[in-house]
């Protein structure tokens, strides 16, 4: 196409959250030319939302911590479906990545002796999360951004990828449109790093921003790459449910850590009703013991509200489904009750949970020191993604790399809090380094003008349709389908219905029509994103149907137990020669003896 | 649905660099809604191509800046219940920046301005393993500035930019906050004071405090960032000896 300009780089990074920025900085550091396209403005990516911290075995607070403990914790959390090589590299390299952030200007909270302070978090044996109050994500992205703008990276803001381009088997770049003018641009590159984040927008209730439409997953899939573990989606148990405008926004685990309790419509603490057998002797038997635990009594056991995220989320779903929910379809999270126990409870709550206090006050008119919050599960994170080599982060397509949430492997069946930010840093850097090396070691690529032409024509088709449906209604229907049929509690029959519904939605999306012109047109952008959402929704559904057991983030009502045999494989999907999605089970390579020894040693 | 109770009119700016005007949209309002919800609803139901920038919908990314009922605000943190809904609510783009389309402005100047500021330059590590020691109190001093979400609302209201368009000579309150964060960073050893006086134009600020009033992160921009920086400029340029002593002691810190 004559009107499409071509921009050439050695390495093209797609996405500018933590992983994309870290990859671009790494690649630029190896002296190759680097371009970075991002869907939003620089520094706005979803990484800003992370609150908890960055998991790294620095051992500053408890010197018993080491990479071995972190490795074992990560594998246990992931129920051993993890790519063990990634779990090993992550545990070994995270401390250096955190120290490097400090060298670039990040300011973490400190220990008494002036080192980086670390906090406790679910699933981590020792205090391990480097943090800055409750805004660690902002600190991390701003540090990377402010460092990255001096690293010689060409940044192209508000650009979205339509398709990856290939030269034979190799990746050769991407066709992109800019939001501002709606013009197309070809980025030719010898290596491409995908760092596009997650898929939360496939669900109605999510903590994710609009950008999270599974772009990297879908682009890679269509370019021939393999996706794995797509059935594993993490639902955070406590998101806001009311008012509608804030539905899905996270309510930090810290509320429960400070003594907040979950209650149903009848005021019953339902979490006491369903404590899994294997957690029974670690869980408080009555409210008093639970309260003492939250106040630091080492002889008390944790209240049932602090059981694993997946279990708490399922209990909430059960209460709502059985008609015991709150008026807006959630349950109550009550921290105000602690005034029965503490003299100046209101001040205490405001001091311990400042951002939560502010969030509910400002957005819901609720004073959490006096009234309970309404909460319900929210789609938070996808463990599955693009299958990559553990060392290089290269996908099954030569020259195509992936890092961060859009890549699979590190987290297995469930991710521990805090392991996400460290994932972005460790594997962002690795992907950037290896992409730069790949670009240096391989010759030039050419872009096929016919492929560019075809993709550009496809992207413009919605403008030409006069009788099609608008994109927002289709997106909404897709979100309802996934929320209702492939959500937290899954059943074969419902998921089969979802597959049929997704087929119908694909047909509707193929006829989507948009008004207006190409300049900054959200209707058009949504129409294009729909195809990615539909691809990931299908991958999640097919993978979830195939895994007939419950493990980590994947819970089957019709197969509620864990099946030991299913612990030996990853579910993978790829695009078949006929364009249909093909599913397979791939055996996990055996854990090498030295890592096995670590797992045994750490219990 | 009781029509009068449950709907409101939004007078939304529509147009691009070549021109435009306000369009009225009537849309349903529900309890708890924020302005961004109303805009999204109008977009989904009446104007699919209405341009608006947003990401987090939680006041954390600084994307959804606009002027609501004449005030610079984050649309996602402005609840309809705070506004008078009897009359149309105007929603317009930030006026200090060139318009792209509808509610979206071209804020790229801010990114260029930031690049002109000397980046973080740490002193040599304190420990042989390449790490530093800092006290919590020293860290706390700069955290206020590091809360900035780069919404650029302060830039939007500053008359030096909004009315006088001195973008080439003045970096604006956001970047004074950024400079203050670097200058007061416990590890930083670079000197940005000459640049503040010359290319960054701190002298143009006449302490109107308009920027502080609109900051959604409640950063006390004028008192805590700009005035101390102005004092450094005075020290360095009008009290060179004192400044030398200070500079020397700063570099000597362990
Ligand atoms: S105080 Fe200074 S920087 Fe802030 S708005 Fe007024 S003139 Fe601008
Ligand atoms: S200083 Fe405040 S108003 Fe200015 S950009 Fe930062 S957050 Fe926005
Ligand atoms: S959308 Fe992020 S601040 Fe409003």
Contacts of A45 in chain B (CB under 8 A): 55
Residue A298 has pLDDT above 80, yes or no: no
Domain containing B236: what range? 108-249
The reply to whether B128 and B244 lie within a common domain is yes
B61–A114: do the CB atoms touch at under 8 Å? Answer: no
B9 and B42 share one domain? yes
pLDDT over 80 (residue A435): yes
Q: Which domains does chain A have, with CATH numbers?
A: 5-232+383-449 (3.50.50.60), 239-379 (3.90.700.10), 461-579 (1.20.58.100)
Q: Which residue has the higher pLDDT, B246 or A81?
A: A81
Residues B169, B80 within the same domain: no
Chain A: closest CA distance from residue B76 (Å)? 9
pLDDT digits (tens, 9 = 90+) for B36-62: 999 999 999 999 999 999 998 889 999
Here the tokens at position B13 are 């700016």
**Would B242 be classed as within a structural domain?**
yes
Residues B115 and B241 in one domain: yes
Torsion of CA A167, A173, A179, A182, to 10 degrees: -30
Average pLDDT in chain A: 94
Query: Is the per-residue pLDDT at A178 higher than 90?
Result: yes
The reply to whether B123 and B222 lie within a common domain is yes
Tell me the pLDDT band of B3, cut-offs 50, 70 and 90: very low
Check residue B243 and give its pLDDT: 61
B19 located within any domain: yes
The reply to whether B254 falls in a domain is no
Tokens linked to A77: 């959390």
Q: Which of B105, B133, B155 is the last residue of a domain?
A: B105
B80, B105, B130 - which closes a domain: B105
Over the range A436-459, which residues count as b (16 or more CB within 10 Å of their CB) and which as e? bbbbeeeeebebeeebbeebbeeb
Q: Do A245 and B37 touch (CB under 8 A)?
A: yes
**Distance from the Cα of residue B165 to its chain's centroid:** 16
Total Cβ atoms within 10 A of residue A574: 17
Q: Is any atom of ligand 3 closer than 6 Å to the C-beta of B59?
A: yes
B59: domain CATH number is 3.10.20.30
The Cα A484–Cα A492 span in angstroms is 13
Residue A398 pLDDT greater than 90, yes or no: yes
| Inter-residue contact A358 to A298 (CB < 8 Å) | no
Distance from CA of A282 to the nearest CA of B (A): 35
Is residue A379 predicted with pLDDT exceeding 80?
yes
The dihedral of CA B178, B184, B190, B196: what is its sign?
positive
Asked whether residue B192 is assigned to any structural domain, the reply reads: yes
Residue B133 lies in a domain: yes
Looking at the predicted structure, is the pLDDT value of residue A334 above 50?
yes
Give the one of A99, A362, A521 whose C-beta lies nearest to B49's C-beta: A521
β-sheet bridge partners, residue B214: none
Alpha-helical (H) ranges within A104-152 are 136-148
Q: Do B82 and B114 reside in the same domain of the chain?
A: no
Give the per-residue pLDDT at A454.
96
The answer on pLDDT for A477 being more than 50 is: yes
Tell me whether residues B142 and A211 touch, CB distance under 8 A: no
On average, the pLDDT of chain B sits at 92
Reported confidence tier of residue B244, pLDDT bands at 50, 70, 90: low
Same domain, yes or no, for B95 and B204? no
Same domain, B146 and B99: no
B220 CA from centroid of ligand 2 (Å):
10
Is B152 found in the same domain as B120? yes
By annotation, the residues of A acting in catalysis are: 236, 256
Pocket test for ligand 2, best of B105, B145, B152 (most atoms within 8 A of CB): B152
Residue contact A243–B114, C-beta within 8 A: no
Question: Among residues B72, B105, B138, which one ends one of the domains?
Answer: B105
Is there a single domain that holds both residue B77 and residue B114? no
Note whether B91 and B211 are same-domain residues.
no
Residue pair B108/A40 in contact (Cβ under 8 Å)? The answer is: no
Give me the pLDDT at residue B252, please: 46
Per-residue DSSP letter, A202: G
Index of the ligand 2 atom closest to the CA of residue B150: 5
Percent above pLDDT 90 for chain B: 86
Q: What are phi and psi of A466, to 5 degrees?
A: -105, -20
Phi (first) and psi of residue A110, to 5 degrees = -115, 155
Tell me how far apart the terminal alpha carbons of chain B are, to the nearest angstrom.
Answer: 69
User: pTM for this structure?
Assistant: 0.94
Q: Is B49 in the same domain as B97?
A: yes
Q: Structurally, how many domains does chain B consist of?
A: 2
ipTM comes to 0.92
In ligand 3, the atom with minimum distance to the C-alpha of B65 is 4
The number of helix segments (H) and strand segments (E) in chain B equals 10, 7
Q: What is the pLDDT of residues A491-531, one digit of tens each?
A: 999 999 999 999 999 999 999 999 999 999 999 999 999 99
**CATH code at position B237:** 1.10.1060.10
Average pLDDT over residues A15-39: 97
| Token duo for residue B81 | 């219940």
């Amino acid at each position: 196409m004559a009107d499409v300009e071509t921009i050439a780089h050695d390495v093209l990074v797609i996405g500018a959250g933590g992983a994309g920025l870290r990859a671009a900085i790494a690649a630029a550091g190896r002296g190759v030319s680097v371009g970075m396209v991002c869907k939003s403005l620089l520094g706005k990516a979803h990484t800003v939302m992370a609150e908890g911290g960055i998991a790294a075995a620095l051992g500053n607070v408890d010197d018993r911590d080491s990479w071995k403990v972190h490795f074992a914790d990560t594998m246990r959390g992931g129920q051993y479906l993890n790519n063990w090589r990634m779990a090993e590299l992550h545990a070994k390299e995270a401390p250096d990545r955190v120290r490097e952030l400090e060298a670039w200007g990040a300011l973490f909270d400190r220990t008494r002796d002036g080192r980086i302070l670390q906090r406790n978090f679910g699933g981590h044996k020792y205090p391990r999360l480097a943090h800055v109050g409750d805004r660690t994500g902002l600190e991390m992205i701003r540090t990377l951004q402010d460092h990255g703008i001096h690293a010689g990276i060409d940044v192209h803001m508000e650009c979205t990828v339509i398709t990856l381009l290939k030269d034979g088997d190799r990746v050769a770049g991407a066709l992109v449109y800019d939001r501002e003018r709606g013009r197309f641009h070809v980025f030719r590159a010898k290596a491409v790093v995908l760092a596009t984040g997650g898929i939360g927008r496939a669900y109605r209730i999510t903590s994710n921003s609009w950008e999270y439409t599974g772009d990297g997953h879908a682009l890679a899939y269509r370019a021939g790459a393999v996706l794995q573990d797509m059935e594993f989606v993490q639902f955070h148990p406590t998101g806001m449910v009311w008012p509608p405008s804030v539905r899905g926004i996270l309510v930090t685990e810290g509320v429960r850590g400070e003594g907040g309790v979950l209650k149903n419509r009848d005021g019953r603490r339902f979490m006491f009703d369903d404590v899994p057998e294997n957690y029974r002797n670690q869980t408080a038997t009555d409210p008093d013991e639970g309260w003492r635990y939250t106040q630091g009594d080492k002889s008390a056991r944790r209240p049932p509200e602090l059981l694993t995220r997946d279990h708490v989320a399922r209990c909430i779903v059960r209460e709502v489904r059985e008609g015991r929910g709150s008026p807006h379809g959630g349950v109550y999270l009550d921290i105000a009750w602690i005034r029965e126990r503490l003299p100046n409870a209101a001040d205490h709550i405001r001091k311990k949970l400042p951002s939560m206090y502010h969030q509910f006050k400002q957005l819901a008119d609720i004073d959490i020191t006096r009234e309970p919050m309404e909460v319900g599960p929210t789609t938070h994170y996808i463990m599955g993604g693009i299958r990559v080599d553990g060392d290089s982060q290269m996908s099954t397509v030569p020259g195509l790399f992936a890092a961060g949430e859009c890549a699979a492997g590190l987290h297995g069946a469930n991710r521990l809090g805090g392991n996400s930010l460290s994932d972005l840093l460790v594997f962002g850097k690795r992907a950037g380094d290896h992409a730069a090396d790949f670009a240096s070691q391989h010759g030039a690529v050419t872009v096929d003008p016919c492929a560019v032409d075809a993709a550009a024509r496809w992207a413009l088709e919605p403008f030409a349709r006069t009788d099609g449906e608008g994109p927002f209604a289709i997106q909404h229907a897709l979100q309802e389908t996934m929320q209702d049929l492939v959500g937290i509690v899954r059943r074969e029959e419902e998921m089969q219905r979802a597959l049929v519904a997704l087929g119908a939605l694909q047909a509707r999306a193929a006829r989507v029509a948009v008004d207006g012109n190409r300049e900054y047109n959200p209707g058009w952008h949504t129409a294009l994103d729909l195809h990615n959402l539909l691809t990931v929704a299908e991958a999640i559904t097919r993978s979830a149907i195939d895994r007939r057991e419950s493990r980590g983030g994947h819970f089957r009502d019709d197969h509620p137990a864990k099946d030991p045999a299913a612990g030996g494989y990853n579910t993978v999907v790829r695009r078949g020669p006929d364009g249909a999605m093909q599913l397979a089970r791939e055996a996990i390579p055996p854990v090498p003896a030295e890592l096995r020894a670590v797992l045994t040693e750490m219990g | 649905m009781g029509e009068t109770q449950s709907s409101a009119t939004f007078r939304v700016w529509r147009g691009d660099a070549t021109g435009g005007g306000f369009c009225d949209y009537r849309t349903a309002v529900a309890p708890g809604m924020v302005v961004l919800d109303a805009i999204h609803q109008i977009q989904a139901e009446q104007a699919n191509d209405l341009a608006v920038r947003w990401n987090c919908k939680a006041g954390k990314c600084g994307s959804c800046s606009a002027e609501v009922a004449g005030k610079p605000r984050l649309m996602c943190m402005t609840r309809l219940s705070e506004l008078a809904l009897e009359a149309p609510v105007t929603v317009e783009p930030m006026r200090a920046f060139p318009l792209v389309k509808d509610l979206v402005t071209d804020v790229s100047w801010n990114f260029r301005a930031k690049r002109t500021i000397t980046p973080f330059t740490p002193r040599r590590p304190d420990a042989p393993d390449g790490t530093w020691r800092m006290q919590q109190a020293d860290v706390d001093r700069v955290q206020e500035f590091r809360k900035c979400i780069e919404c650029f609302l302060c830039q939007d209201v500053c008359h030096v930019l909004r009315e006088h368009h001195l973008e080439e000579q003045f970096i604006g309150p956001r970047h004074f906050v950024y400079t203050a964060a670097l200058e007061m960073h416990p590890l930083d050893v670079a000197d940005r004071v000459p640049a503040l006086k010359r290319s960054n134009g701190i002298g143009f600020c006449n302490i109107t405090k308009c920027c502080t009033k609109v900051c959604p992160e409640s950063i006390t921009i004028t008192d805590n960032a700009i005035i101390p920086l102005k004092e450094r400029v005075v020290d360095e340029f009008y009290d060179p000896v004192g400044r030398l002593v200070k500079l020397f002691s700063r570099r000597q810190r362990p």
